[in-house]
Amino acid sequence: MFEIGLIHDHPLIEWAVSQALTEAPDMRVHVLNADCAGPAAPNGLPDRLDVLLMDRPPERSPLTEAAATRASCVLLMSSTGLEGAYPGVSGCLSERSDPVALAAAVRAAASRSRGAPRASEPADDSSLLSAREHQVLRMLVQGLTHDQTARRLGISCHTVDTYVKRARGKLGVGNKAELVRAAMAYGWD
């Protein structure tokens, strides 16, 4: 079970993200607010978080410091998902992400962070998918068909299908549209 922390100033977005992630059977979502922060062991704040989702870069407050120190990975949610690099932030996601793509991105970040020390640099996405799977996925995000992708890479259409199926499995998405949305949420376009 992945432990996910969520800090967001906008109540509606906080609720929607919480609902989208709670529907995933392998995630437990902890909505964190000022009531969780305390000098000793904050109430409601788990000892360990696989992923901390925040709507702005970590700042100096008791809550964000306590949550960030317990998190293996910090993801920043923004209206565009294309923010610059911030110290202690592993990656950025768009608040406008499809719920399935959001859950896939958080699941992938949580999977990468399991057992790994917290990184101060952005996460290396190549550990999730193979180089060829990234290559195929980038072409699909650009709007190429399986046949066009196969011709450009000099492989068969069936091989492209195989790469797509493997990427879908690794990202935990159900179809190609969800796969493309997940790739866009990761910024793999």
**What domains, with CATH codes, occur in the chain?**
2-123 (3.40.50.2300), 126-186 (1.10.10.10)
Judging by DSSP bridges, how do beta strands 91-94 and 51-54 pair with one another?
unpaired
Taking the C-alpha atoms of residue 77 and residue 31, their distance in angstroms, rounded to an integer, is: 14
Taking the C-alpha atoms of residue 126 and residue 151, their distance in angstroms, rounded to an integer, is: 24
Task: Give the pLDDT score at 80.
Answer: 56
What does each of the 189 residues of the chain score in pLDDT, given as a tens digit?
888 888 888 888 888 888 888 888 888 888 887 555 444 334 567 778 888 888 876 666 667 777 777 788 888 887 655 455 566 677 777 777 778 778 888 888 887 776 544 433 334 444 567 888 888 988 988 889 999 999 999 999 999 999 999 888 877 777 888 788 777 766 666
Give the number of residues written for the chain: 189
Cβ neighbours, 10 Å, residue 109: 26
Backbone φ and ψ of 71, nearest 5°: -95, 140
Task: Give the pLDDT score at 154.
Answer: 94
Strands lying side by side in the sheet with 91-94: 27-31, 2-7, 51-54, 74-78, 91-94
